[in-house]
Amino acid sequence: MIVLATANPHKVDELRAILAPTGLPIRGLNDLPDSARFVEPVENGSTFAQNARIKALSYAQQTGQLCLADDSGIEIDALALSDGTPRPGVISSHYCTDGLERGMSRAERDAANNARVLRELEGVPIAKRTARFVCCMCLARPGEVLRETRGEFAGAIGVPPRVPAGAHGFGYDPLFLVAPTLTHTGAELPPAEKNQLSHRALAASLMLQWLRTYRI
């Protein structure tokens, strides 16, 4: 069995579909008995890779199972700090509150994050709104990192009223125009198509290649 270190049902569904060829049971944290007992680790890494490693090792230790964690977010070039630090980067999911947890629901955070991005990019032409989703994955068993992968999904942040648009996906998907054509947002892509193109799909497919040879 592989435990996915997330309670996000969107991620669970997406990764379960991608990793189905392993033939292994894929479970989210909420699928496990007594899931309330798990202690969420502090994700204090400065990179996606560091945070993925923290989560994978913590939940592998807590569950006693093989655990796959990912940390992902969006990097928008026009919003990068002067030292080159990408933004929103590792605080993508809480960008509206500068990385702090304020007790908002996921839907409320998504809406507020998207509103902040559009506000900060107001007046920036599409040619300078380049962006990429990044996903770093880590597979661990208790006390040991087994494999790490990285995937990127290139595009740009659209200009209203073209965006937000689309009924699929989550997070920044309704704002993100997919390269190279920039004709569809991530939220306008059918889930099956997105699962072949996305940052998470690439990182997961690289993990899948390794899992096919790994002997548990």
Task: Name the residues annotated as catalytic.
Answer: 71
Tell me the CA distances in angstroms from 153 to 34, 48, 146, one per residue in order.
35, 14, 24
Give CA angle at 26 (40, 67), nearest 5°. 40
Among 123, 49, 129, which residue's Cα sits nearest to residue 89? 49
Two structure tokens written together for 124:
């920036």
Residue written as token pair 């980067």: 89
- The whole-angstrom separation of Cα 120 and Cα 90 is 18
Q: Are 94 and 79 in contact (CB under 8 A)?
A: no
Which residues share a beta bridge with 68? 4, 139
Cα of first residue to Cα of last residue in the chain, in angstroms, is: 9
Residue 187 buriedness (CB in 10 A; 0-12 / 13-18 / 19+): buried
Do 116 and 74 meet the contact criterion of CB atoms below 8 Å apart? no
The number of residues making up the chain comes to 216
